[in-house]
Amino acid sequence: MAKKRWIIEGTWTGYTAGQRRVIHRAVTTDPDRYKVTYVEFSDNTGLAITKRECRLRERVKEMHTYDRVLNKCIAMELSGIVTIDRLRQTRRGDI
């Protein structure tokens, strides 16, 4: 039996409600690695992270816009709400 696929979506909150849109989408077989639910940026916008199971034969158009940020959250084992300043603490220029 094949492993279940999961979609990880990142929705940018924008400056106003009308600017909300999906800007990151990736498919994974290990959704438990993604423990971060929200990344807050210094301009008071954010990236809301959601996970959902793929439907049978669903085609997913992946957008790998924020892979570096999410991979850094995974590497640092962060969960919940994270500020971008917390991610920058380890080394300047990584993000």
- Evaluate whether 17 touches 51 at the Cβ level (below 8 Å): no
Q: DSSP for 33-45? A: G--EEEEE-TTS-
Q: What is the pTM of this model?
A: 0.83
Model pLDDT, residue 89: 74
Q: Express each pLDDT in 26-60 by its tens digit.
A: 999 999 999 999 999 988 899 999 999 999 999 99
Q: What percentage of residues in the chain have a pLDDT greater than 90?
A: 66
Q: Express each pLDDT in 70-86 by its tens digit.
A: 999 999 888 899 888 88
Show me where the domains of the chain are located: 6-88
